[in-house]
A and B are shown apart, each in its own frame.
Chain A
Amino acid sequence: MATAIETQTVDLAARFPGKVSAESRPGYSGFVVEKESLLEVAKAVRDEFGYDLLAALTGVDYIEQNKMEVVYHLHKTTGGPKLIFRTQADRVDPIEIPSVTPIWAGAEYQEREAYDLLGIRFTGHPDLRRILMWEGFEGHPLRKDWKEAFYEEEIKPYKSRWPEGKHTYAEFKNPFRDNLKFPPNFDPEKYEPEGEKDLYSSLERFSIKSEGGLKTDHVVVNLGPHHPSTHGVLRVAVTLEGETVMGLKPVMGYLHRNHEKIGERNTFLQIMPYTDRLDYFNSMSNNFGYAVTIERLMNIPVAERAEYIRVIMAELSRIQNHLVFIGMLINDLGSMFTPAFYAFEERELILDIFEAVAGSRMMCNYFRFGGVARDVPEEQMQKIKDLVFDRLPFKIDEMERLLNQNEVLVGRLKGIHVLNAEDAVHYSVTGPVLRAAGVPYDLRRADPYSIYDRFDFDVALRHNGDMYDNYLIRFDEMRQSLRILEQALKQIPGGPINSQKPNYQVKVPAGEAYGRVEAPKGELGYYVVSTGKQNPYRYHVRPPSFVNLTALEKMCVGKKIQDFVALLAMLDIVMGELDR
């Protein structure tokens, strides 16, 4: 019965005649919504059709058609296929599209990103500011007519490298000459920074007001960007009243390198090693997501043995990620070293395997379209088996004995609420945080990719949604990963490790694809538009860290500042993918 409902396809065009039409471009799917009716349709999509989770929202600049398009990917937390709809606006500034934040709060940062990088103004957005670039930056880098300072050619490979490749330094192509654009009337010599008016005014606007009682001053404090517990260079501006957080705005982009623009210059294959650098703890999962997406576009099978290797690597990666999460969480709570180093020891053994198989401990670059780069040698397979059967289960138990009942830890974590199920879904939070709030949504089950449907495992689930549950669920997930690993290691067949011949110029038919995997931190999605050329026309990453961070304000406001670091740690962010 349930499956009947889930597989039922939604026909938006029939529901909204005249306002919605079915997508007709070859290789595309979903619906095109008139921008005037966007909110009405979106509301119906959520309330009538039950698509409660906004997975990804991004813009595409169709410069030749003179259109700017926003694509929405929707999911049901009960599982089942996705729904795609899009809306278009003429590519004439100001480009205006209604904001869907009232319907899905998870759109907030993603819309800000689309505004920042593509210049789409979302009308009705509560706080539309730049997010990855700095205020005062000129232009919108993901537009097709925007060129970076070291711009050389539209796409790689660059012609200057061969056959007449005389080495020149990139910086000698003087960035201050014709490549750099300044706002009109801007003189870099006379520039005086204005401070961050926008940030602080929005912080003030969104700070809650204290009710009655003593009148106290609000103090604005900037945490970061250089603070060890922000896991990189995240800066968070908070308003405090006493010790209570009254308002909070994260500031990001310190590690921004416009991964997506680089991706659009790259050929399809060249993107693979760049994905390693997103969530650098889990390059295997990043590779996985990208490979799945491009394979969907190319419509090619994956070699059977490679499927198993992929799953083994992704699950090993999940285990080491969660170990580090636990270690670093305890570190954030003030207990340096011991648990963190215990975690790092096991991680070390897993990274040894990655190094021997993929060639690098963290920047694995291991997946290829149709398979993996090289086979796992027998010796390493044995090492994986040793770890999975003889070591990791006991080490996870040991970690639990070490920490779980520690009164200080329990006192710090228990009863401090992170998110309830409703808010978590509303804010598009995915991964362990969503499951700790009691929503059994795991892509490996909800929308199985690769060969996850062959394994017997449970979706880890906790119900209280407090920090302690968020902490415990990581242990549950590691145990489930071990279950998957045990089965995969027993079932793995021999045979080739790639269904395709090695090819550095893969042919990718025109069309779009959204591929997603359950990365250790949540849903990792890639949205790729191909025009049939050797490089993607649009390459978008939907990193779990970035989207999950949307809920940070909701999580922290009203809580004590002492808990902030632990709450942030719960989201398990990594700046490499957050800032991209």
Chain B
Amino acid sequence: MYGLGILKGLSVTWKRFWDTYIDDISWALTGKKRYRTEEGIKHRSSKNTRGIFTVQYPEERLITPEEFRFVPFLVYEEKDGKKEPRCTACGICSKVCPPQCIWIVRSSDPVTGKPVSTPAEFYIDMDICMNCGFCAEYCPFDAIKMDHDIDIASYGRSVYNLEKLLKPVSYYAEIRPLNYNAEEEERRAKEAAKAARTAAPATPAA
């Protein structure tokens, strides 16, 4: 019969319509909040979600996974109240950057003029950055990392300088806890191995 196929299709939309409310009702009955809670958003992006599962941006936001990458930032350590960038101005990130949007001026010793391993100036042209994550991936000093902060729209051009790029280690540890802990673990293991190596030859001599 003509129209049967359309009816069959409509049964799907009809079911979906009710599905949208089933979870709302059952969550409300058990006293759980489905909207504007992490649990609710998680459920709405799981395999069990049904009906309409829109996340109501901007009131709600999807949970950012740790690996999510947006423009890079530089990590600094706090020492005696001073910001000490981890960056050694080795230049690897600026070499690997595909659109070549990283610009680094290496510091030099004011007396001898010899290069010093810290950046004097550091620019990233955020309008050109393609968020590829290579800089963070290939930096040997864990000094540059990809950010989670996506609200950087501006009316002008966004060339970030050293000051604007620097963010504390604690921020990095907060947005990427798994990566941070793994790196720290590795660093500790390396230091322990180094200590063992320097300690080992000392023993026979003694």
Contacts and interface: CB of A to CB of B under 8 A. Distances in A.
Contacts of B128: 170
A338 interface: yes
A163 interface: yes
Chain A binding surface, main DSSP class: helix
Given A165-B104, A403-B9, A504-B138, A359 B67 contact: yes
B98 to A, nearest CB: 4
B26 interface: no
13 contacts: A157-B97, A161-B104, A162-B95, A165-B123, A269-B134, A270-B96, A352-B65, A356-B67, A401-B12, A405-B5, A405-B9, A406-B8, A407-B2
A256 interface: no
A272 B45 CA distance: 29
Nearest to B51: A345
A402 B146 contact: no
Which of the four size classes fits the interface of chain A?
A: 35 or more
B191 interface: no
B46 A157 contact: no
A270 B100 CA distance: 10
B168 interface: no
A43 interface: no
A406 B7 CA distance: 8
Interface string B148-162: 000000000101000
Interface string B179-205: 000000000000000000000000000
A154 interface: no
A357 B67 contact: yes
Contacts of B96: 157, 267, 269-270, 504
Contacts of B6: 406-408
Contacts of B77: none
B104 A162 contact: yes
Interface in A384-409: 386-387, 390-391, 398, 401-409
A356 B9 contact: no
Nearest to B123: A167
Interface in A231-275: 266-267, 269-274
Contacts of B166: none
Interface in B31-73: 45-47, 49, 53, 62, 65-69
Contacts of B46: 383, 386
Interface in B13-33: 13, 16
Given A166-B121, A504-B96, A402 B104 contact: no
Interface string B109-133: 0000001000001010100101111
B75 interface: no
A40 interface: no
A180 interface: no
Residue among B12, B68, B92 facing the most chain A CB atoms (10 A cut-off)? B12
B161 to A, nearest CB: 8
B102 interface: yes
B47 A406 contact: no
A349 B47 contact: yes
A355 B65 contact: yes
Closest CB pairs A-B (n = 3): A405-B5, A165-B103, A162-B91
B106 interface: yes
Contacts of B132: 272-273, 363, 365
B9 A167 contact: no
Contacts of B100: 156-158, 161
B9 A163 contact: no
Given A161-B94, A164-B105, A165-B94, A502 B3 contact: no
Contacts of A164: 105-106
Contacts of A409: 5
Contacts of A356: 65-68
Contacts of B159: 167
A373 interface: yes
Contacts of B2: 407
Given A401-B12, A408-B6, 17 more contacts: A157-B95, A157-B97, A162-B103, A163-B106, A165-B104, A166-B105, A166-B121, A270-B134, A273-B132, A338-B13, A356-B66, A359-B67, A359-B68, A365-B132, A373-B133, A404-B5, A504-B138
A461 B49 CA distance: 33
A163 B105 contact: yes
B206 interface: no
A266 B95 CA distance: 11
Contacts of A166: 103, 105, 121, 123
Contacts of B9: 401-403, 405-406
B89 interface: yes
B91 A270 contact: no
Nearest to B103: A165
Contacts of B115: 163
Interface string A338-361: 100010010011001001111110
A410 interface: yes
Contacts of A143: none
A360 B131 contact: yes
B137 interface: yes
B137 A502 contact: yes
A186 interface: no
A407 B115 CA distance: 75
A479 B45 CA distance: 23
Contacts of A348: 45
B4 A405 contact: yes
Contacts of A144: none
Given A165-B123, A273-B134, A398 B12 contact: yes
A166 B62 CA distance: 38
Contacts of A360: 68-69, 131
A410 to B, nearest CB: 7
A304 B146 CA distance: 28
B94 A157 contact: yes
Contacts of B157: 169
A406 B9 CA distance: 7
B123 A274 contact: no
A352 B94 CA distance: 30
A374 interface: yes
A410 B5 contact: yes
Given A363-B131, A373-B137, A403-B9, A161 B103 contact: yes
A391 B62 CA distance: 21
A356 B65 CA distance: 5
A579 B102 CA distance: 28
Contact of A386 (B47, B98, B134): B47
Contacts of A169: 157
B106 A162 contact: yes
B127 to A, nearest CB: 9
Contacts of A502: 137-138
Contacts of A161: 91, 94-95, 97, 100, 102-104
B138 A266 contact: no
Contacts of A406: 5-6, 8-9
